[in-house]
Structure 1
Amino acid sequence: MALLYKADPVRGEHWKALFAEHAPGIDFRIWPDIGNPEDIEYLAAWLAPDDLEQTLPNLKVLFALSAGVDQLDLSRIPASLPVVRLLDPGISQGMSEYACFAVMALHRDMLRYRQQQLQGQWQAHRLVPAANRRIGVMGLGRQAQHILSSLKPFGFALSGWARSQHQIEGVTCHAGTAQLPAFLAQCDILLCALPLTEHTTGILNHELFEHLPPGAALINMGRGGHLVEQDLLSALDSGQLSAAVLDVLQQEPASPQHPFWKHPNILLTPHIAAMTQPESAFPNLLENIRRFERGEAMQGLVDRSQGY
């Protein structure tokens, strides 16, 4: 049995060492040194190779080395081939850390204070108690629920929205298109943690921003495809939005001319909210392989009809 790894080769060496120590019976190979392609039953990849069926004729499972699978063109992957998301507790921890940092930066007005520092200006502004700040999270999946749990101790009023109904202790939950305006109307800070699908592409747009309270702030740590970038600039210029923290863009890296680089009300980070760590991700990947071999359901199996 062989597993082919197709992603960052430096991290690949860490993965290889973990397999050698804990699962020596699995032949771990790093792309492009695939050896005999007929040996490969499992593929762990960020992007799948072209002509997957011809390249790896005996492939049984594709493990996406990410919490989402929007980087994969599922239409080019055989319908009979299971695609499994990576359930890495390190990703959940990283996402929660970033969310807390971004929310607190906006809550405590750090973008304004940063601009004052650059201008040599020493001026305090009114502090809004956390209990009076309303945080709304779009997307109520595994990662979003970790984020909400991390935000609870601060005392914010928390709400969430998803396409389907959820019940989360301490969180006011909304569901579906009909309830989206009511959810948005009580979000002082809106955080997007949605998966990117045909239904969510471009969802952060002018129409959505108009439903937010004037002066609300945005955090996008989902995917760049969620945001209509020009609509964000227009909302910031008009004052409908006061600030944004963005970890993802339509095009990454951003071009040197991109207006987000120097915008005073945008904090931009280079897609670093969370990073897959081999040490924390390995146990789940190995367990899923064992589950598949035993004929058991794998954790993180992608529903093709939903896109995640």
Structure 2
Amino acid sequence: MGNKGDDKGRILLSITDWDPDMWRAEFAKAAPGRPIVLQPDHPGDETIHYALVWKQKPGSLANLPNLKAIFSLGAGVDHIFHDPHIPDVPIVRIVSDDLSMRMSEYVVWQVLDHHRLGPRYRRQQQNRIWHEDRRQPAANEVTVGILGLGVLGRDAAAKLLALGFRVTGWSRRPHETEGVETFHGKEGFGDFLAGADIIVCLLPLTPETKGILSMSMFARLKQEGPLGAPVLINAGRGGLQNEADILAALDRGLLSAAVLDVFQKEPLPADSPLWTHPKVTVTPHAAASSAPGAIVPLIVQHIEAYERGEPLTNVVDRATQY
């Protein structure tokens, strides 16, 4: 179980849905000799100082008297707060260039696919239809609105600006992002929605944002743009969306298409109408997967800096849960 006498303490790896052996192997390379375990030896285990989590089982972090910090292995932290027994220690988000790049790749891929009429051409190919559509808007005629201007949102915005798109952004609090027209708060939400041709949702899931992608939002979207009705791309969290409302908005023409990487229930049930709706693209929560080889060295750096007496960075505000 590791050297209990190690004055640096042991690390608890508390995850579900993922293979723990991949993570343990990376820690063995990044921090040789530092003990890492999959569960405490007993309630009240004093040897555990840090916890690395992804959808940890409720109560798995309780009764650890020397726990100093909790690290999320994914981009979000909402999965941590599903546990009603979270101890009162700092919760740290890992900001990774690798995660940012993966998310931006996904966003650019889906934006370009709809901008360049990819779904239409695939349907035409299936039906062996040759139809030359000479009118395709230029990138600078299309406005991509990004919901959420955190690290991921700002990186995606920079990539889209480089391709020539007009980019706007909305966040709960004011943010200044070079080249992006920004809106914030309830007072700026309507103006943001009225200008977007493609909406990319990268918001964190918090009590304030839960269910934000709903009919009350879709009814406020512009209806005539260079792509027709707006396209919705959600690569944030499944809890942000009302899936029945998305389907209704597609059928009513309030949305022209929806790209969904996350869902209210995962895996997406086989009987979900999202699988077969002609205007929906489903990807299996694959937009920005956490790669152990990229994430683990960053966590080790955080821990070593903390043990040198430096403050933790990217600490989650428990009040906002982000």
Question: Once the 2 structures are TM-superposed, how far is the Cα of residue 55 of structure 1 from its aligned partner?
Answer: 4.8
Structure 2 residue aligned with 1:20? 28
Q: Check whether the contact 1:89–1:281 (CA below 8 A) recurs between aligned residues.
A: no
Q: Higher relative contact order by CA 8 Å / sep ≥ 6: 1 or 2?
A: 1
1:247 maps to what in 2? 261
Q: Secondary structure at the match of 2:275?
A: coil
Give the drift of 1:35. 4.0
Which of 265, 274, 280 lines up with 1:266 in the alignment? 280
Q: With the length of structure 2 as denominator, give the TM-score of the two structures.
A: 0.89
Gaps of 5+ in 1: none
Q: Is the 8 A contact 1:190 1:216 kept in 2?
A: yes
Q: As a proportion of its length, which structure holds more helix?
A: 1
Matching residue's letter, 1:206: M
Any idea what the Cα deviations from partners look like across 1:16-50, whole Å, max 9, x if unmatched?
Answer: 33333332241122x24x44633211111102343
C-alpha distance in 1 between matches for 2:82 and 2:318: 8
Contact 1:202 1:225 in 2 (8 A): yes
What SS is found at the alignment partner of 1:91?
helix
SS at structure 2 position matched to 1:219? strand
Residues 1:237 and 2:251 aligned together = yes
For 2:167, give the aligned amino acid.
Answer: L
How far off its partner does 1:164 sit? Answer: 0.6
Provide the residue aligned with 2:118 in structure 1.
Answer: 110
CA distance in 1, matches of 2:119, 2:274: 14
Give how far 1:96 is off: 0.5
Length, aligned pairs only: 306
* CA–CA separation in structure 1 for the residues paired with 2:82 and 2:17: 24
Q: Distance in 1 between matches of 2:308 and 2:109?
A: 42
Structure 1 residue 56 corresponds to structure 2 residue 50: no
- 1:292 correspondence with 2:306: yes
Alignment RMSD, CA only?
A: 1.9
Give 5+ residue unaligned stretches, structure 2.
1-8, 224-228
Aligned counterpart, 1:179: 188
CA distance in 1, matches of 2:321, 2:282: 27
| Structure-1-length-normalised TM-score | 0.93
The match for 2:156 among 127, 143, 147 is 147
Alignment check: 8 A CA contact 2:53 2:80 kept: no
Q: Which residue of 2 aligns with 1:73?
A: 81
Q: CA deviation at 1:299?
A: 2.1
- How far residue 116 of structure 1 moved from its aligned partner, in angstroms, is 1.7
Q: Provide the secondary structure at the position in 1 that maps to 2:80.
A: coil
Q: How many percent identity over aligned positions?
A: 39
Paired position in structure 1 for 2:3? none
Give SS of 2:219's match: helix
- Tell me which residue corresponds to 2:216: 207
Deviations 1:178-208 (CA, angstroms, capped at 9, x unpaired): 1111111110001100001111111111121
Aligned twin of 2:93:
85
**Residue 44 in 1 paired to residue 58 in 2?**
no
Please give the alpha-carbon distance, in whole angstroms, between the structure 2 residues aligned to 1:10 and 1:225.
20
In 1, Cα distance between equivalents of 2:205 and 2:114: 24
1:55-78 deviation digits (Å, cap 9, x = unpaired) = 533322111111111112267244
- 1:119 pairs, out of 123, 127, 132, with 127
